[in-house]
Amino acid sequence: MNPSEEMSRELQRRRYSNQTIKTYIGCLERFLNYSKKDIRKITKKDVREYLEKMSDKNKAGNTMNVALMALKFYFEQIQKRKMWIDIKYSKTPRRISRFLTKEETKRLIDSIKNPKHALMIVLMYSAGLRVSELVNLKFKDLNLEQGYGFVRNGKGRKDRIFVIAKNLNLSLKILKQSSENPEDFVFKSDRNRKYSIRTIQVIVKNAAKKAKIENWGEIHPHTLRHSFATHLIENNYSLTDVQASLGHKSPETTMIYVHLASPNMINIKSPLDSL
């Protein structure tokens, strides 16, 4: 079995996402093409020199960090060789995420005339779901009587609970009655297949354009997740509540939504006001 196949099999066994598998394999193959050495003769020095070469070419810090993680995974987890390389490259500065105001969100939703499409987009926004989580949602994951659902094997291969808005309960119940199999996907196309991520992206983009939202070309499904989190902060929910709703591992990741929220919604007063 060649290195790429070994990497793919082990990543699949550990239930990594398809995108991560593709990225890691690409990193490994680029390194092997550069090294041109027998895999058993590759050393820590070879890996370091490769990363330094990437640095010389002004590759982004994120790109080099991912390459390092991929190579460490292969050599340490598959080859069972110590490959400790304590290098951390600075990440590209994070751009503050685009989000919709509550009024813009309503306009976007109202512009979708297909009932099933509208239900998908509303559920994604109202629960803060990622687009991949929406398309993989199954009826068995919904507890409509209690008003919550489960994301199975979400980002980081973790399960998490999400809230189902009360005014979506009836629509989801009707949809659920159309299927006797709890393993069925909640949302299926006219061809009886689960929706593709690309289809959801097109629905959101077209809705943003139709709603005449400024810079509509920048609006995508993840914008709705950003909007969900920002609106929770504006509604005075705690950072801990928002972190749990989004399934974030670190509160620092959630903190960005505090900065997105309207300044008058942030309960911090300048010390000048108390002098």
Give the C-alpha separation, 159 to 213, whole Å: 34
Alpha helices in 36-114 (DSSP H): 44-56, 61-72, 102-110
The amino acid at residue 58 is: N
Cross-strand bridge partners of residue 163: 148
Cross-strand bridge partners of residue 148: 143, 163
Looking at beta carbons, which pairs linking 74-82 to residues 24 or more positions away fall under 8 Å? Answer: 74/3, 74/6, 74/7, 74/24, 74/28, 75/42, 75/47, 77/10, 78/6, 78/7, 78/10, 79/39, 82/44
Residues labelled as active-site residues:
130, 155, 222, 225, 248, 257
Give the sheet arrangement for strand 160-163, strand by strand. 142-143, 148-151, 160-163
Give the C-alpha separation, 109 to 204, whole Å: 9
Token pair belonging to 180: 């006797």
